[in-house]
A and B are shown apart, each in its own frame.
Chain A
């Protein structure tokens, strides 16, 4: 008979599997802080720390604080750590959640998929069970869209990265393609009752807001131009990566041909020896350099670049959609 009540020891010993992260819930306060910090320092890229709580399948972000911009200097490492500890301690005194749940960074036109991001993710993952990275794009927000995204590395990718194994075979095994590296998590915004009361009172009287002015602006030229520039650069990078692969394959096939030739020579030699009654030589010679396996270049870079390109394409699509609507609006206004 199954005993429905488990002993304490049993409960303590079974590790509960963490429910998968489904939603990131941010407070309006944290959103405003991120926006302010990123906007003030744009176009420089800035980062900051997210604080909050990890509850079931929801990751709550209740506050955040920015990091000072660091010059590339080794002695400031300790200062950075000190600053972080100091801020966390001070915030603890005013009852802010002292729990790190991730970090945020600003980006320029969505070009954030870099190796450093993955490395930072792995660093965070070692210490904190669930961490998330929030990306904010201030240049896109000038178009009237709130460009806030929450990202997480997918688990299968993390395993592969830990083993540092990015050959084609392994990827095919796990059925991992460039889409699976980053997982985007939907964001929910929550506000305390007090602040929503304040905002309701203080809402601007005019029915049209700054946001609308930004959105209805007819010129999207510069934004699209920069997007295209980045896209073209990425294409160049992708091309370089593909060149590397081609080179590798050519080497591999050349090596194979060499091996075959050597094998043939050995076989004829052996036949001659047999005819002469001597010991046949082995058919393999590990010390011969043509048998050395050539390492396959890692596909990580090409995956990241592909991700970036996809991002740019999506953005261009979005902007084009908006521009279409605006153009039709203009046309309709004109017909009257």
Chain B
């Protein structure tokens, strides 16, 4: 690369302290829009909504697709649509503002720079999210970038997209249950007791793993790791030491539960009785 005279290529320091968080709903939205895209479109582009947390992290909470056309050097974006959707979304949730934009497909190309410039007019430092729906590397890759402008002396040269740390907060998806979200068809939503059973089984498997590990360490098959040992000791110690008090507590709580169960069943019986009496024929 020929440096002309004294001008030196400036690389602004990469802001590695910027990070982004994505809620699972955004990924669902993007995939859904991709599946529904018009036939001639290769990729889908849309706006990301969210908020900027006090420590600088960008929290991406919602998204919507924006129709666009892609030509070799131009990318006309339906700006009116973009504004209309933004207004509609803000009526419901005024705290969500534009934080960036997304596109499906791997990597960043020329068109993206133009779109990024458009979005940087709306927001100070837009985040660009790419969701690789083609599974190019054989795995799902979701990456976030910010762009910095490279300049040679005073002349703007190019825009450099730097990847930033992305945190996939799957708490919501976990709450719903990955089983429901993973399969293509789930026949029945799990009810209270099924869920309890599943949780307890998981807990049991965890305990089994730890037991096995401790057994291995004692027999010398696996080198002992002090940190893990400390963790295990902490968790075992966190079981409250109640001894004989334990039975007392247990029994009294069982009393409460049993009474509640009894009361609610009796209420239900009373209801059906009252129903029969109320609509029975009145003899006057």
Contact = CB atoms under 8 A, between A and B. Distances in A.
Interface of A: 27-29, 31-33, 35-37, 40, 63, 66-69, 83, 86-87, 90, 93-96, 141, 144-146, 148, 168, 171-172, 177-178, 186-204, 207-212, 214-216, 224, 228, 231, 242, 245, 249, 252-253, 256, 299, 302, 306, 309-310, 312-314, 316-327, 329-331, 333-334
A32 B93 CA distance: 16
Interface string B171-189: 1111111101111111111
B187 A145 contact: no
Interface string B28-44: 11011111111000000
Given A187-B189, A195-B28, A207 B199 contact: no
B239 interface: yes
A215 B278 CA distance: 40
Interface string B158-200: 0000000000101111111110111111111111110110111
A231 B264 CA distance: 10
A323 B257 contact: yes
A210 B196 contact: no
A333 B239 contact: yes
B265 interface: yes
A160 to B, nearest CB: 13
A199 B88 contact: no
Interface string B74-117: 00000001001100100111000000000000000000000000
Nearest to A171: B279
Contact of B186 (A189, A204, A252): A189
Contacts of A252: 284
B200 A32 contact: no
Q: Would you call the interface of chain B mostly helix, strand, loop, or mixed?
A: helix
Contacts of B92: 37, 66-69
Contact of A198 (B140, B246, B268): B140
Contact of A194 (B24, B35, B176, B274): B35
Contacts of B188: 186-188
Contact of B182 (A196, A306, A318): A196
Nearest to B90: A68
A28 B180 contact: yes
6 contacts: A171-B279, A192-B184, A210-B174, A215-B195, A256-B284, A333-B239
Nearest to B187: A188
Interface of B: 23-25, 27-29, 31-38, 61-62, 64-65, 67, 81, 84-85, 88, 91-93, 133, 135, 139-140, 142, 168, 170-178, 180-193, 195-196, 198-200, 202-203, 205-206, 239, 242, 246, 250, 253-254, 257, 260-261, 263-265, 267-268, 271, 274-275, 278-279, 281-282, 284
Contacts of A172: 279, 281
A146 B189 contact: yes
Nearest to B254: A327
Contacts of B195: 144-145, 211, 215
A192 B33 CA distance: 11
A214 B38 CA distance: 42
A236 to B, nearest CB: 13
Contacts of A212: 198-199, 202-203
A35 B172 contact: yes
A301 to B, nearest CB: 12
A90 B85 contact: yes
Contacts of B200: 216, 325, 329
B174 A94 contact: no
A189 B32 contact: no
Contacts of B61: 36
A317 B187 contact: no
